[in-house]
Structures are given as structure tokens and as C-alpha cells.
A = this chain, B = another copy of it.
Amino acid sequence: MTRQVHDVTADAEPAIVDTVLGDLAGYRLKRAYMRIRPAAGQALAQDGLRVVGFSCLSLIVDNPAIVQAQLAEALQIERPNLVLVIDDLEQRGLITRRKVPTDRRRYALHATLQGRRLRDRAADRLRRAEDGLIARLAPEDRQALQRALDALEALQD
């Protein structure tokens, strides 16, 4: 009566039952992000960047004279946690800090030519790394992903 011996799944890992987690959007979003994140990290590591450093550099390139408080708010990073990241970018000659004459508490951040070039190169690598995953989705699924992300971004608060 038992199928144990002849069951082809006898040696396979027993499938895990999940009646709750798989229905939670938060859990599923985290899993999806965790699948993409390592590829992004590896791509950026080739240029000696981590995700947070690249994000800062990219916004500094796009917003000359941005100050750290604005950067922190845009990236949802606490100001103290930004300091070492900015220090590193500056020491590597990718950005400069210039005291703002009209408010000497602030430093205007500017990307150097080298910083702009590195941003572009790293962004290309990132897009290629993502495409390695996203391009494997069916076109309708890619559309659905873009639509869902747009909608989540548009939520107030």
C-alpha cells in the first residue's frame, strides 16, 4: 500500500508547504529584490563601488551642487551614514566638496569628469546585469513589472 520504495520523489527534498508567506506582497517583494541585488553588487564591484556609493555618485552627477542633506533625503539614508560614503567618493577623485558661499554650513557636491565617466560606465554594467535577469521575463511580464513599480511609487506617504 505504501508508495515509498517506488516513489520517484523518495530521495528528493520533500516540498515545503507554505500557506501564508507566499501570499504576502512584502515577502515576495523581498525575495524578488534579493534575487536581483547580488547581480547588481557584483556589477558595481568591478568599478570598486557599492550600491550606496553608486547611488550617491549618480545623483551628484545628475544634480550638480546638491548638498548632503538633499542627497540623504532623496536616497532615504540617514545623514550620518552618508558621511563615509561621500568621503570615499571624494578621496577617489570622483566628486568634490565646495563650501557654499551663501551658507557656509553646506558643501555643494560636484562630480569630476572622472566621476561622470565612472557613473556612466557603472550604469551600463548595471543595466546589462539586470537585463541578464529581466530580459528572461516574457514581454507581458516585463510590462507588468514596470506597471506595478510605477503604481507602488505613485502611492502617497
A interface residues, Cβ below 8 angstroms from B: 13, 16-21, 23-37, 39-40, 55, 58-59, 62-63, 66, 70, 74, 76, 119, 123, 126-127, 130, 133-134, 136-138, 140-141, 143-145, 147-153, 155
Contacts and interface: CB of A to CB of B under 8 A. Distances in A.
Contacts of A55: 21, 27
**Copies of this protein, total:** 2
A126 B144 CA distance: 24
A153 B35 CA distance: 9
| Majority secondary structure, A binding face | helix
A148 B141 contact: yes
A153 B17 contact: no
B26 A40 contact: yes
B26 A29 contact: no
Contact of A35 (B126, B141, B143, B152): B152
Contacts of A29: 29, 32-33, 36, 149
A145 B29 CA distance: 9
A20 B149 contact: no
A90 to B, nearest CB: 20
A25 B134 contact: yes
B148 A152 contact: no
